[in-house]
Chains A and B, each alone.
Chain A
Amino acid sequence: MNALRRTTSIVAIELWLPLTLVIIWWVVSEYVNSLYFPPLSVIMQSFAENWLNPENAAANLVPSLQVIFFGYALAVIGGIVLGATLGLVRPLERAVRPVVEAMRAVPGVALLPLFIVLFGIDQQMRILLVAYGATWPVLLNTLDGVRGVEPTLLDMSRAFRVGRARRLFGVILKSAGPQIFAGARIALAVTLIIMVVSETVGASGGVGYFLMTAKSEFRIASMWSAMVALGILGYLLNIIFRIAERYILRWHRLQQARLERTS
Protein backbone atom coordinates (compact mmCIF):
# COMPACT_ATOMS: atom_id res chain seq x y z
CA MET A 1 0.00 0.00 0.00
CA ASN A 2 2.76 2.33 1.00
CA ALA A 3 4.79 1.38 -2.07
CA LEU A 4 1.77 2.04 -4.26
CA ARG A 5 1.28 5.47 -2.78
CA ARG A 6 4.96 6.27 -3.29
CA THR A 7 4.82 5.19 -6.95
CA THR A 8 1.74 7.31 -7.62
CA SER A 9 3.35 10.33 -6.00
CA ILE A 10 6.48 9.91 -8.15
CA VAL A 11 4.35 9.57 -11.27
CA ALA A 12 2.33 12.62 -10.25
CA ILE A 13 5.39 14.75 -9.61
CA GLU A 14 6.97 13.74 -12.91
CA LEU A 15 3.81 14.29 -14.92
CA TRP A 16 2.28 17.52 -13.63
CA LEU A 17 4.64 19.88 -15.45
CA PRO A 18 4.55 18.24 -18.91
CA LEU A 19 0.77 17.88 -18.69
CA THR A 20 0.34 21.52 -17.63
CA LEU A 21 2.48 22.68 -20.53
CA VAL A 22 0.53 20.58 -23.04
CA ILE A 23 -2.75 21.94 -21.69
CA ILE A 24 -1.44 25.52 -21.88
CA TRP A 25 -0.32 24.88 -25.45
CA TRP A 26 -3.68 23.34 -26.30
CA VAL A 27 -5.70 26.23 -24.87
CA VAL A 28 -3.47 29.10 -26.03
CA SER A 29 -3.12 27.73 -29.56
CA GLU A 30 -6.93 27.51 -29.86
CA TYR A 31 -7.28 31.22 -29.24
CA VAL A 32 -4.13 32.64 -30.81
CA ASN A 33 -4.73 33.16 -34.48
CA SER A 34 -1.23 32.73 -35.86
CA LEU A 35 -0.37 31.34 -39.26
CA TYR A 36 2.70 29.50 -38.01
CA PHE A 37 1.26 28.17 -34.78
CA PRO A 38 -1.91 26.21 -35.63
CA PRO A 39 -4.12 24.87 -32.82
CA LEU A 40 -2.79 21.70 -31.23
CA SER A 41 -6.06 19.92 -32.08
CA VAL A 42 -5.43 20.57 -35.79
CA ILE A 43 -1.82 19.35 -35.46
CA MET A 44 -3.07 16.18 -33.81
CA GLN A 45 -5.56 15.56 -36.61
CA SER A 46 -2.82 15.92 -39.16
CA PHE A 47 -0.58 13.69 -37.06
CA ALA A 48 -3.20 10.94 -36.99
CA GLU A 49 -3.65 11.21 -40.74
CA ASN A 50 0.03 11.26 -41.73
CA TRP A 51 1.70 9.14 -39.09
CA LEU A 52 -0.87 6.75 -37.64
CA ASN A 53 -2.67 5.71 -40.82
CA PRO A 54 -0.62 2.63 -41.85
CA GLU A 55 -0.39 3.50 -45.54
CA ASN A 56 0.99 7.01 -45.08
CA ALA A 57 3.07 6.03 -42.10
CA ALA A 58 4.84 3.36 -44.18
CA ALA A 59 5.73 5.84 -46.93
CA ASN A 60 6.88 8.47 -44.45
CA LEU A 61 8.69 6.32 -41.93
CA VAL A 62 10.19 3.26 -43.62
CA PRO A 63 12.93 5.06 -45.60
CA SER A 64 13.98 6.97 -42.47
CA LEU A 65 14.04 3.84 -40.35
CA GLN A 66 16.21 2.14 -42.97
CA VAL A 67 18.72 4.97 -42.87
CA ILE A 68 18.72 5.05 -39.07
CA PHE A 69 19.05 1.31 -38.63
CA PHE A 70 21.76 0.56 -41.18
CA GLY A 71 23.66 3.81 -40.70
CA TYR A 72 23.68 3.49 -36.93
CA ALA A 73 24.60 -0.20 -36.99
CA LEU A 74 27.54 0.51 -39.31
CA ALA A 75 28.63 3.41 -37.12
CA VAL A 76 28.54 1.43 -33.89
CA ILE A 77 30.30 -1.63 -35.31
CA GLY A 78 32.86 0.44 -37.22
CA GLY A 79 33.43 2.73 -34.25
CA ILE A 80 34.06 -0.14 -31.85
CA VAL A 81 36.34 -2.04 -34.24
CA LEU A 82 38.40 1.02 -35.19
CA GLY A 83 38.40 2.44 -31.67
CA ALA A 84 39.53 -0.84 -30.12
CA THR A 85 42.24 -1.27 -32.76
CA LEU A 86 43.60 2.20 -32.16
CA GLY A 87 43.27 1.80 -28.39
CA LEU A 88 45.23 -1.45 -28.35
CA VAL A 89 47.90 -0.56 -30.90
CA ARG A 90 49.30 2.59 -29.36
CA PRO A 91 51.97 3.43 -31.98
CA LEU A 92 49.32 3.22 -34.71
CA GLU A 93 47.04 5.55 -32.76
CA ARG A 94 49.83 8.06 -32.30
CA ALA A 95 50.78 7.96 -35.97
CA VAL A 96 47.28 8.52 -37.32
CA ARG A 97 46.19 10.96 -34.60
CA PRO A 98 46.31 14.13 -36.75
CA VAL A 99 44.37 12.47 -39.56
CA VAL A 100 41.73 11.16 -37.14
CA GLU A 101 41.43 14.55 -35.46
CA ALA A 102 40.97 16.27 -38.82
CA MET A 103 38.44 13.74 -40.08
CA ARG A 104 36.31 13.81 -36.97
CA ALA A 105 36.37 17.60 -36.91
CA VAL A 106 34.36 17.79 -40.14
CA PRO A 107 30.73 18.32 -39.15
CA GLY A 108 28.90 15.35 -40.71
CA VAL A 109 26.31 17.52 -42.45
CA ALA A 110 29.00 19.52 -44.28
CA LEU A 111 29.82 16.34 -46.16
CA LEU A 112 26.32 15.98 -47.60
CA PRO A 113 27.13 17.66 -50.94
CA LEU A 114 30.36 15.69 -51.11
CA PHE A 115 28.61 12.38 -50.53
CA ILE A 116 26.02 13.28 -53.17
CA VAL A 117 28.77 13.93 -55.68
CA LEU A 118 30.61 10.73 -54.77
CA PHE A 119 27.78 8.25 -54.21
CA GLY A 120 24.73 9.74 -55.93
CA ILE A 121 21.40 10.63 -54.36
CA ASP A 122 19.96 7.46 -52.91
CA GLN A 123 19.44 5.53 -49.71
CA GLN A 124 22.95 4.12 -49.85
CA MET A 125 24.45 7.61 -49.78
CA ARG A 126 22.31 8.52 -46.75
CA ILE A 127 23.29 5.37 -44.89
CA LEU A 128 26.96 6.03 -45.57
CA LEU A 129 26.70 9.66 -44.47
CA VAL A 130 24.98 8.71 -41.21
CA ALA A 131 27.56 5.96 -40.67
CA TYR A 132 30.42 8.39 -41.23
CA GLY A 133 29.10 11.09 -38.94
CA ALA A 134 28.00 8.79 -36.13
CA THR A 135 31.17 6.67 -36.09
CA TRP A 136 33.32 9.32 -34.40
CA PRO A 137 31.67 9.53 -30.99
CA VAL A 138 31.71 5.72 -30.75
CA LEU A 139 35.29 5.50 -31.98
CA LEU A 140 36.69 8.11 -29.62
CA ASN A 141 34.84 6.75 -26.60
CA THR A 142 35.90 3.18 -27.37
CA LEU A 143 39.48 4.39 -27.71
CA ASP A 144 39.34 6.09 -24.32
CA GLY A 145 37.53 3.17 -22.71
CA VAL A 146 39.97 0.56 -24.01
CA ARG A 147 42.88 2.62 -22.78
CA GLY A 148 41.34 3.13 -19.38
CA VAL A 149 41.02 -0.59 -18.59
CA GLU A 150 42.34 -1.35 -15.10
CA PRO A 151 45.93 -2.55 -15.55
CA THR A 152 45.35 -5.07 -12.72
CA LEU A 153 42.58 -6.69 -14.75
CA LEU A 154 44.93 -7.11 -17.70
CA ASP A 155 47.72 -8.48 -15.49
CA MET A 156 45.32 -10.88 -13.88
CA SER A 157 43.92 -12.15 -17.16
CA ARG A 158 47.49 -12.67 -18.33
CA ALA A 159 48.39 -14.50 -15.14
CA PHE A 160 45.40 -16.80 -15.55
CA ARG A 161 46.30 -17.32 -19.21
CA VAL A 162 42.96 -16.11 -20.48
CA GLY A 163 42.80 -16.65 -24.23
CA ARG A 164 43.21 -13.74 -26.63
CA ALA A 165 39.63 -13.61 -27.88
CA ARG A 166 38.28 -13.87 -24.40
CA ARG A 167 40.63 -11.20 -23.14
CA LEU A 168 39.47 -8.85 -25.89
CA PHE A 169 35.73 -9.43 -25.55
CA GLY A 170 35.42 -10.53 -21.94
CA VAL A 171 37.90 -8.17 -20.32
CA ILE A 172 38.86 -5.21 -22.49
CA LEU A 173 35.65 -4.44 -24.38
CA LYS A 174 33.52 -5.41 -21.42
CA SER A 175 35.16 -3.01 -19.03
CA ALA A 176 35.13 -0.30 -21.73
CA GLY A 177 31.38 -0.96 -22.11
CA PRO A 178 30.01 1.98 -20.09
CA GLN A 179 32.11 4.41 -22.05
CA ILE A 180 31.26 2.80 -25.38
CA PHE A 181 27.59 3.23 -24.51
CA ALA A 182 28.13 6.88 -23.65
CA GLY A 183 29.56 7.35 -27.14
CA ALA A 184 26.76 5.35 -28.74
CA ARG A 185 24.20 7.60 -27.06
CA ILE A 186 25.76 10.71 -28.63
CA ALA A 187 25.97 8.84 -31.93
CA LEU A 188 22.21 8.23 -31.78
CA ALA A 189 21.49 11.96 -31.57
CA VAL A 190 23.93 12.63 -34.43
CA THR A 191 22.26 9.87 -36.47
CA LEU A 192 18.86 11.54 -36.22
CA ILE A 193 20.20 14.96 -37.23
CA ILE A 194 22.12 13.65 -40.24
CA MET A 195 19.20 11.43 -41.28
CA VAL A 196 16.83 14.41 -41.43
CA VAL A 197 19.35 16.62 -43.21
CA SER A 198 20.22 13.95 -45.79
CA GLU A 199 16.56 13.36 -46.59
CA THR A 200 15.92 16.97 -47.47
CA VAL A 201 17.84 16.49 -50.72
CA GLY A 202 16.49 14.35 -53.54
CA ALA A 203 14.47 11.98 -51.37
CA SER A 204 10.99 10.75 -52.26
CA GLY A 205 10.00 9.68 -48.76
CA GLY A 206 11.10 9.85 -45.18
CA VAL A 207 10.59 12.22 -42.29
CA GLY A 208 13.08 14.84 -43.51
CA TYR A 209 11.50 14.89 -46.96
CA PHE A 210 8.01 15.21 -45.51
CA LEU A 211 9.12 18.00 -43.19
CA MET A 212 10.70 20.12 -45.90
CA THR A 213 7.99 19.60 -48.54
CA ALA A 214 5.28 20.45 -46.00
CA LYS A 215 7.20 23.62 -45.21
CA SER A 216 7.68 24.67 -48.83
CA GLU A 217 4.05 23.88 -49.68
CA PHE A 218 3.00 25.87 -46.64
CA ARG A 219 1.08 22.97 -45.07
CA ILE A 220 1.84 24.24 -41.59
CA ALA A 221 -0.18 21.67 -39.65
CA SER A 222 1.51 18.81 -41.55
CA MET A 223 4.88 20.37 -40.83
CA TRP A 224 4.08 20.50 -37.13
CA SER A 225 2.87 16.89 -37.24
CA ALA A 226 6.26 15.87 -38.66
CA MET A 227 7.99 17.74 -35.84
CA VAL A 228 5.85 15.87 -33.31
CA ALA A 229 6.59 12.59 -35.11
CA LEU A 230 10.34 13.28 -34.98
CA GLY A 231 10.09 14.04 -31.28
CA ILE A 232 8.28 10.77 -30.61
CA LEU A 233 10.69 8.84 -32.84
CA GLY A 234 13.67 10.30 -30.96
CA TYR A 235 12.10 9.46 -27.62
CA LEU A 236 11.25 5.87 -28.62
CA LEU A 237 14.74 5.26 -29.99
CA ASN A 238 16.18 6.53 -26.74
CA ILE A 239 13.98 4.17 -24.74
CA ILE A 240 15.10 1.21 -26.88
CA PHE A 241 18.68 2.36 -26.37
CA ARG A 242 18.22 2.54 -22.62
CA ILE A 243 16.74 -0.97 -22.47
CA ALA A 244 19.67 -2.34 -24.48
CA GLU A 245 22.10 -0.49 -22.23
CA ARG A 246 20.47 -1.79 -19.06
CA TYR A 247 20.59 -5.32 -20.40
CA ILE A 248 24.15 -5.31 -21.70
CA LEU A 249 25.63 -3.34 -18.83
CA ARG A 250 23.70 -5.07 -16.06
CA TRP A 251 26.98 -6.35 -14.56
CA HIS A 252 28.10 -2.75 -14.24
CA ARG A 253 24.95 -1.71 -12.44
CA LEU A 254 25.16 -4.66 -10.06
CA GLN A 255 28.78 -3.91 -9.32
CA GLN A 256 28.02 -0.26 -8.68
CA ALA A 257 25.19 -1.19 -6.32
CA ARG A 258 27.52 -3.53 -4.47
CA LEU A 259 30.16 -0.85 -4.15
CA GLU A 260 27.63 1.61 -2.79
CA ARG A 261 26.44 -0.87 -0.22
CA THR A 262 29.92 -1.66 1.07
CA SER A 263 31.18 1.90 1.24
Chain B
Amino acid sequence: MTNASVVTQRSVRMVQFRAGRIVWPLIQVGVVLLAGGIWWLASGFFPAGALPPPGVVLARLGELMLTGEFWIAVAITVGTFALALICSILIGVPLGLWIGSSRFWTESTRLLFDFLRTIPPIALLPLLLLVLGADFQMVLVLSIAGAVWPILIQSVYAARQGEALLAEMAASFRIPKAWYIRHIFVPGAMPFVMTGVRLGTTIALLLTIAGELLGAAPGVGHEIAAAQAWYDTPRMYAYVLVSAGLGLAVNGGFWSLQRYLLRWHPSVREEGRR
Protein backbone atom coordinates (compact mmCIF):
# COMPACT_ATOMS: atom_id res chain seq x y z
CA MET B 1 0.00 0.00 0.00
CA THR B 2 1.43 3.37 -0.97
CA ASN B 3 1.79 6.20 1.42
CA ALA B 4 -0.76 8.29 -0.40
CA SER B 5 -3.51 5.67 -0.19
CA VAL B 6 -2.93 5.35 3.57
CA VAL B 7 -3.33 9.10 3.87
CA THR B 8 -6.52 9.15 1.79
CA GLN B 9 -7.92 6.23 3.75
CA ARG B 10 -7.24 8.05 6.95
CA SER B 11 -8.82 11.27 5.72
CA VAL B 12 -11.87 9.36 4.51
CA ARG B 13 -12.20 7.91 7.97
CA MET B 14 -11.84 11.36 9.50
CA VAL B 15 -14.61 12.68 7.28
CA GLN B 16 -16.82 9.74 8.21
CA PHE B 17 -16.06 10.38 11.87
CA ARG B 18 -16.93 14.07 11.59
CA ALA B 19 -20.12 13.28 9.68
CA GLY B 20 -21.04 10.71 12.33
CA ARG B 21 -20.80 13.36 15.00
CA ILE B 22 -23.47 15.40 13.26
CA VAL B 23 -25.64 12.67 11.76
CA TRP B 24 -26.01 10.41 14.78
CA PRO B 25 -27.38 13.01 17.17
CA LEU B 26 -29.86 14.01 14.45
CA ILE B 27 -31.00 10.41 14.08
CA GLN B 28 -31.26 10.08 17.85
CA VAL B 29 -33.35 13.23 18.12
CA GLY B 30 -35.51 11.83 15.31
CA VAL B 31 -36.09 8.61 17.24
CA VAL B 32 -36.97 10.55 20.40
CA LEU B 33 -39.49 12.58 18.38
CA LEU B 34 -40.82 9.37 16.86
CA ALA B 35 -41.34 7.92 20.36
CA GLY B 36 -43.18 11.10 21.30
CA GLY B 37 -45.31 10.69 18.17
CA ILE B 38 -46.19 7.11 19.12
CA TRP B 39 -47.16 8.34 22.59
CA TRP B 40 -49.31 11.05 21.00
CA LEU B 41 -51.05 8.53 18.71
CA ALA B 42 -51.51 6.01 21.53
CA SER B 43 -53.12 8.64 23.75
CA GLY B 44 -56.11 8.60 21.43
CA PHE B 45 -56.78 4.91 22.01
CA PHE B 46 -57.06 4.98 25.77
CA PRO B 47 -60.13 6.16 27.70
CA ALA B 48 -60.19 9.90 28.28
CA GLY B 49 -57.53 11.05 30.69
CA ALA B 50 -55.77 7.68 31.02
CA LEU B 51 -52.93 8.68 28.73
CA PRO B 52 -52.79 12.44 28.10
CA PRO B 53 -50.84 13.51 25.00
CA PRO B 54 -47.18 14.46 25.54
CA GLY B 55 -47.82 18.16 24.94
CA VAL B 56 -50.32 18.35 27.81
CA VAL B 57 -47.93 16.55 30.15
CA LEU B 58 -44.98 18.76 29.22
CA ALA B 59 -47.11 21.90 29.67
CA ARG B 60 -48.15 20.60 33.08
CA LEU B 61 -44.54 19.90 33.96
CA GLY B 62 -43.65 23.46 32.97
CA GLU B 63 -46.40 24.82 35.22
CA LEU B 64 -45.26 22.66 38.11
CA MET B 65 -41.67 23.81 37.71
CA LEU B 66 -42.78 27.33 38.58
CA THR B 67 -44.13 26.24 41.95
CA GLY B 68 -42.14 25.89 45.15
CA GLU B 69 -43.73 22.60 46.20
CA PHE B 70 -42.35 20.94 43.07
CA TRP B 71 -38.78 21.88 43.93
CA ILE B 72 -39.27 20.93 47.58
CA ALA B 73 -40.48 17.46 46.53
CA VAL B 74 -37.51 17.06 44.17
CA ALA B 75 -35.06 18.31 46.79
CA ILE B 76 -36.39 15.90 49.42
CA THR B 77 -36.17 12.92 47.06
CA VAL B 78 -32.69 13.81 45.82
CA GLY B 79 -31.49 14.55 49.35
CA THR B 80 -32.85 11.32 50.79
CA PHE B 81 -31.40 9.31 47.95
CA ALA B 82 -27.96 10.94 48.19
CA LEU B 83 -27.83 10.59 51.96
CA ALA B 84 -28.90 6.94 51.73
CA LEU B 85 -26.19 6.22 49.19
CA ILE B 86 -23.51 7.98 51.23
CA CYS B 87 -24.54 6.14 54.41
CA SER B 88 -24.56 2.81 52.54
CA ILE B 89 -21.05 3.48 51.25
CA LEU B 90 -19.79 4.59 54.67
CA ILE B 91 -21.23 1.46 56.28
CA GLY B 92 -20.70 -1.06 53.48
CA VAL B 93 -17.20 -0.32 52.22
CA PRO B 94 -15.20 -0.28 55.50
CA LEU B 95 -17.20 -3.16 56.97
CA GLY B 96 -16.90 -5.18 53.76
CA LEU B 97 -13.17 -4.57 53.37
CA TRP B 98 -12.61 -5.46 57.02
CA ILE B 99 -14.64 -8.67 56.80
CA GLY B 100 -13.03 -9.56 53.49
CA SER B 101 -9.50 -9.22 54.80
CA SER B 102 -10.16 -11.81 57.48
CA ARG B 103 -10.83 -15.35 56.39
CA PHE B 104 -12.60 -16.19 59.62
CA TRP B 105 -15.11 -13.38 59.34
CA THR B 106 -15.68 -13.94 55.62
CA GLU B 107 -16.70 -17.53 56.27
CA SER B 108 -18.68 -16.69 59.39
CA THR B 109 -20.77 -14.05 57.64
CA ARG B 110 -21.22 -15.84 54.31
CA LEU B 111 -24.48 -17.62 55.12
CA LEU B 112 -25.83 -14.67 57.09
CA PHE B 113 -25.23 -12.17 54.27
CA ASP B 114 -26.51 -14.63 51.69
CA PHE B 115 -29.77 -14.78 53.57
CA LEU B 116 -30.08 -11.11 54.51
CA ARG B 117 -29.37 -9.73 51.05
CA THR B 118 -32.08 -11.84 49.41
CA ILE B 119 -34.77 -10.42 51.71
CA PRO B 120 -36.63 -7.88 49.59
CA PRO B 121 -35.92 -4.62 51.46
CA ILE B 122 -39.46 -3.44 50.83
CA ALA B 123 -40.55 -6.05 53.42
CA LEU B 124 -39.23 -3.67 56.07
CA LEU B 125 -41.56 -0.87 54.96
CA PRO B 126 -44.52 -1.55 57.31
CA LEU B 127 -42.26 -1.92 60.34
CA LEU B 128 -40.38 1.27 59.50
CA LEU B 129 -43.67 3.08 58.93
CA LEU B 130 -44.85 2.09 62.41
CA VAL B 131 -41.59 2.90 64.16
CA LEU B 132 -40.44 6.01 62.28
CA GLY B 133 -43.66 7.34 60.77
CA ALA B 134 -44.29 8.64 57.24
CA ASP B 135 -41.24 10.82 57.01
CA PHE B 136 -37.98 11.02 55.15
CA GLN B 137 -36.12 9.14 57.92
CA MET B 138 -38.27 6.11 57.17
CA VAL B 139 -37.43 6.34 53.45
CA LEU B 140 -33.77 6.86 54.31
CA VAL B 141 -33.54 3.72 56.45
CA LEU B 142 -35.44 1.72 53.82
CA SER B 143 -33.04 2.81 51.06
CA ILE B 144 -29.99 2.06 53.17
CA ALA B 145 -31.39 -1.36 54.05
CA GLY B 146 -31.53 -2.15 50.34
CA ALA B 147 -28.46 -0.39 48.99
CA VAL B 148 -25.98 -1.47 51.62
CA TRP B 149 -25.94 -5.17 50.58
CA PRO B 150 -24.47 -4.98 47.10
CA ILE B 151 -21.87 -2.49 48.36
CA LEU B 152 -20.99 -4.61 51.38
CA ILE B 153 -20.78 -7.87 49.45
CA GLN B 154 -18.74 -6.42 46.60
CA SER B 155 -16.37 -4.90 49.18
CA VAL B 156 -15.90 -8.33 50.76
CA TYR B 157 -15.02 -9.71 47.30
CA ALA B 158 -12.78 -6.72 46.68
CA ALA B 159 -10.68 -7.39 49.75
CA ARG B 160 -10.48 -11.12 48.98
CA GLN B 161 -9.51 -10.76 45.34
CA GLY B 162 -6.42 -8.65 45.98
CA GLU B 163 -3.61 -10.25 44.07
CA ALA B 164 -1.54 -12.45 46.33
CA LEU B 165 1.52 -11.75 44.21
CA LEU B 166 1.28 -8.01 44.87
CA ALA B 167 0.86 -8.58 48.60
CA GLU B 168 3.89 -10.89 48.64
CA MET B 169 5.93 -8.44 46.67
CA ALA B 170 4.97 -5.62 49.02
CA ALA B 171 6.01 -7.78 51.95
CA SER B 172 9.36 -8.73 50.47
CA PHE B 173 10.16 -5.13 49.56
CA ARG B 174 9.13 -4.13 53.09
CA ILE B 175 6.70 -1.58 51.76
CA PRO B 176 5.12 0.37 54.64
CA LYS B 177 1.53 -0.55 55.43
CA ALA B 178 0.13 2.92 54.70
CA TRP B 179 1.79 3.04 51.29
CA TYR B 180 0.57 -0.50 50.54
CA ILE B 181 -3.01 0.44 51.38
CA ARG B 182 -2.93 3.69 49.44
CA HIS B 183 -1.20 2.44 46.28
CA ILE B 184 -1.96 -1.28 46.05
CA PHE B 185 -4.93 -2.28 48.19
CA VAL B 186 -7.31 0.59 47.40
CA PRO B 187 -6.75 0.71 43.62
CA GLY B 188 -7.07 -3.08 43.46
CA ALA B 189 -10.32 -3.06 45.40
CA MET B 190 -11.82 -0.04 43.63
CA PRO B 191 -13.30 -1.73 40.51
CA PHE B 192 -15.18 -4.26 42.67
CA VAL B 193 -16.40 -1.62 45.08
CA MET B 194 -17.60 0.53 42.18
CA THR B 195 -19.67 -2.37 40.82
CA GLY B 196 -21.37 -2.64 44.20
CA VAL B 197 -21.91 1.12 44.35
CA ARG B 198 -23.48 1.09 40.89
CA LEU B 199 -25.96 -1.61 41.93
CA GLY B 200 -26.57 0.21 45.21
CA THR B 201 -27.29 3.45 43.37
CA THR B 202 -30.06 1.90 41.29
CA ILE B 203 -31.59 0.16 44.31
CA ALA B 204 -31.39 3.27 46.51
CA LEU B 205 -33.28 5.38 43.95
CA LEU B 206 -35.88 2.65 43.38
CA LEU B 207 -36.47 2.30 47.11
CA THR B 208 -36.53 6.04 47.78
CA ILE B 209 -39.33 6.45 45.24
CA ALA B 210 -41.07 3.25 46.43
CA GLY B 211 -40.94 4.32 50.07
CA GLU B 212 -42.39 7.74 49.26
CA LEU B 213 -45.06 6.26 47.02
CA LEU B 214 -46.27 3.60 49.45
CA GLY B 215 -45.46 5.26 52.74
CA ALA B 216 -46.89 8.67 51.83
CA ALA B 217 -43.62 10.29 52.87
CA PRO B 218 -43.04 13.65 51.14
CA GLY B 219 -41.16 13.57 47.83
CA VAL B 220 -41.58 12.78 44.14
CA GLY B 221 -42.95 9.27 44.84
CA HIS B 222 -45.71 10.65 47.01
CA GLU B 223 -46.56 13.32 44.42
CA ILE B 224 -47.11 10.55 41.84
CA ALA B 225 -49.45 8.66 44.18
CA ALA B 226 -51.29 11.82 45.24
CA ALA B 227 -51.81 12.95 41.64
CA GLN B 228 -53.26 9.54 40.85
CA ALA B 229 -55.59 9.74 43.85
CA TRP B 230 -56.88 13.10 42.58
CA TYR B 231 -57.30 11.70 39.02
CA ASP B 232 -54.93 14.42 37.87
CA THR B 233 -53.20 12.25 35.26
CA PRO B 234 -51.17 15.01 33.51
CA ARG B 235 -49.67 15.86 36.89
CA MET B 236 -48.97 12.18 37.55
CA TYR B 237 -47.21 11.73 34.22
CA ALA B 238 -45.26 14.92 34.79
CA TYR B 239 -43.88 13.52 38.04
CA VAL B 240 -43.14 10.17 36.40
CA LEU B 241 -41.08 12.13 33.85
CA VAL B 242 -39.32 13.82 36.76
CA SER B 243 -38.45 10.45 38.27
CA ALA B 244 -37.08 9.38 34.88
CA GLY B 245 -35.02 12.56 34.80
CA LEU B 246 -33.66 11.78 38.27
CA GLY B 247 -32.75 8.28 37.10
CA LEU B 248 -30.95 9.69 34.06
CA ALA B 249 -29.07 12.24 36.13
CA VAL B 250 -28.03 9.60 38.65
CA ASN B 251 -26.82 7.21 35.93
CA GLY B 252 -24.94 9.97 34.14
CA GLY B 253 -23.38 11.24 37.35
CA PHE B 254 -22.34 7.75 38.28
CA TRP B 255 -20.63 7.07 34.97
CA SER B 256 -18.59 10.25 35.07
CA LEU B 257 -17.58 9.53 38.68
CA GLN B 258 -16.55 6.01 37.75
CA ARG B 259 -14.59 7.25 34.76
CA TYR B 260 -12.75 9.67 37.01
CA LEU B 261 -12.03 7.22 39.83
CA LEU B 262 -11.07 4.36 37.54
CA ARG B 263 -9.29 6.41 34.87
CA TRP B 264 -6.26 4.13 35.14
CA HIS B 265 -8.31 0.92 34.73
CA PRO B 266 -8.16 -0.88 31.34
CA SER B 267 -11.96 -0.97 30.95
CA VAL B 268 -12.17 2.83 31.13
CA ARG B 269 -9.01 3.44 29.09
CA GLU B 270 -10.32 1.18 26.33
CA GLU B 271 -13.59 3.04 26.28
CA GLY B 272 -11.84 6.40 26.00
CA ARG B 273 -9.82 5.24 23.04
CA ARG B 274 -12.86 4.13 21.06
B239 to chain A, nearest CB (A): 8
The answer to whether the Cβ of A146 comes within 8 Å of any Cβ in the partner chain is no
The answer to whether the Cβ of A24 comes within 8 Å of any Cβ in the partner chain is no
Chain B, Cβ-Cβ closest to A35: B130
Verify B28–A230 contact, CB threshold 8 A: no
Verify A110–B224 contact, CB threshold 8 A: yes
Contact string, B137-148, partner A, CB cutoff 8 A, digits 1/0?
A: 000000000100
Contact with A95, one of B27, B107, B108, B227 (Cβ below 8 angstroms): B27
Which residues of B lie under 8 Å from residue A110 when comparing CB positions? Answer: 209, 213, 220-221, 224, 239-240, 243-244
Verify B251–A189 contact, CB threshold 8 A: no
Contact with B248, one of A36, A101, A109, A211 (Cβ below 8 angstroms): A101
Contact residues, A83-125 vs B (CB, 8 A) = 94-99, 101-114, 116-118
Which residues of A lie under 8 Å from residue B202 when comparing CB positions? Answer: 186
Which residues of A lie under 8 Å from residue B203 when comparing CB positions? Answer: 189
Which residues of A lie under 8 Å from residue B72 when comparing CB positions? Answer: none
Verify B51–A15 contact, CB threshold 8 A: no
Do A105 and B228 form a contact, CB below 8 Å, given A193-B120, A197-B213, A235-B115?
Answer: no
B245 to chain A, nearest CB (A): 8
A204 vs B245: C-alpha distance in the bound complex, in angstroms? 34
Do A13 and B108 form a contact, CB below 8 Å, given A105-B251, A212-B126, A223-B126?
Answer: yes
The answer to whether the Cβ of A237 comes within 8 Å of any Cβ in the partner chain is yes
A235 vs B114: C-alpha distance in the bound complex, in angstroms? 8
A229 vs B1: C-alpha distance in the bound complex, in angstroms? 71
A133 vs B85: C-alpha distance in the bound complex, in angstroms? 21
Contact residues, B12-50 vs A (CB, 8 A) = 24, 27-28, 30-32, 35, 46, 50
Contact with B127, one of A36, A98, A118 (Cβ below 8 angstroms): A36
Which residues of A lie under 8 Å from residue B220 when comparing CB positions? Answer: 110
Which residues of B lie under 8 Å from residue A99 when comparing CB positions? Answer: 31-32, 35
- How many chain B residues touch A (CB < 8 A): the figure is 63
Verify A118–B51 contact, CB threshold 8 A: yes
A212 vs B240: C-alpha distance in the bound complex, in angstroms? 24
B207 to chain A, nearest CB (A): 7
Contact with A197, one of B46, B205, B210 (Cβ below 8 angstroms): B210
A238 vs B225: C-alpha distance in the bound complex, in angstroms? 31
The answer to whether the Cβ of A190 comes within 8 Å of any Cβ in the partner chain is yes
Verify A111–B240 contact, CB threshold 8 A: yes
Chain B, Cβ-Cβ closest to A103: B244
Interface centre among B109, B129, B228 (most CB of A within 10 A): B228
Interface centre among B107, B120, B202 (most CB of A within 10 A): B120
Verify A17–B108 contact, CB threshold 8 A: yes
The answer to whether the Cβ of B260 comes within 8 Å of any Cβ in the partner chain is no
The answer to whether the Cβ of B184 comes within 8 Å of any Cβ in the partner chain is no
Interface centre among A103, A104, A110, A234 (most CB of B within 10 A): A110
A189 to chain B, nearest CB (A): 7
The answer to whether the Cβ of B124 comes within 8 Å of any Cβ in the partner chain is yes
Verify B213–A114 contact, CB threshold 8 A: no
Verify B131–A94 contact, CB threshold 8 A: no
Which residues of B lie under 8 Å from residue A94 when comparing CB positions? Answer: 24, 27-28
Contact string, A204-243, partner B, CB cutoff 8 A, digits 1/0?
A: 0000000110110000100110110011001101100000
Verify B119–A14 contact, CB threshold 8 A: no
A98 vs B118: C-alpha distance in the bound complex, in angstroms? 32
A46 to chain B, nearest CB (A): 14
B99 to chain A, nearest CB (A): 11
Verify B237–A114 contact, CB threshold 8 A: yes
Contact string, B188-206, partner A, CB cutoff 8 A, digits 1/0?
A: 0000000000010011011
Which residues of A lie under 8 Å from residue B224 when comparing CB positions? Answer: 110, 113
A13 to chain B, nearest CB (A): 5
A101 vs B255: C-alpha distance in the bound complex, in angstroms? 13
The answer to whether the Cβ of B214 comes within 8 Å of any Cβ in the partner chain is yes
Contact with A106, one of B51, B109, B240 (Cβ below 8 angstroms): B240
The answer to whether the Cβ of A18 comes within 8 Å of any Cβ in the partner chain is yes
Contact with A96, one of B31, B207, B210 (Cβ below 8 angstroms): B31
The 6 A-B residue pairs with the shortest CB-CB distance in the complex, in nearest-first order: A105-B247, A215-B126, A113-B228, A234-B118, A192-B120, A231-B119
Given contacts A18-B115, A211-B125, A238-B114, 16 further A-B contacts (CB under 8 A): A13-B108, A16-B108, A36-B130, A105-B248, A107-B243, A111-B240, A113-B227, A114-B237, A114-B240, A117-B50, A189-B118, A211-B123, A212-B214, A215-B127, A227-B123, A231-B116
A-B contact pairs, 25 of them (CB 8 A): A14-B107, A16-B108, A17-B109, A17-B111, A17-B112, A18-B115, A94-B28, A95-B27, A98-B31, A105-B246, A105-B251, A108-B206, A110-B220, A110-B239, A114-B236, A114-B237, A117-B50, A189-B120, A190-B206, A193-B120, A193-B122, A211-B125, A227-B126, A230-B123, A231-B115
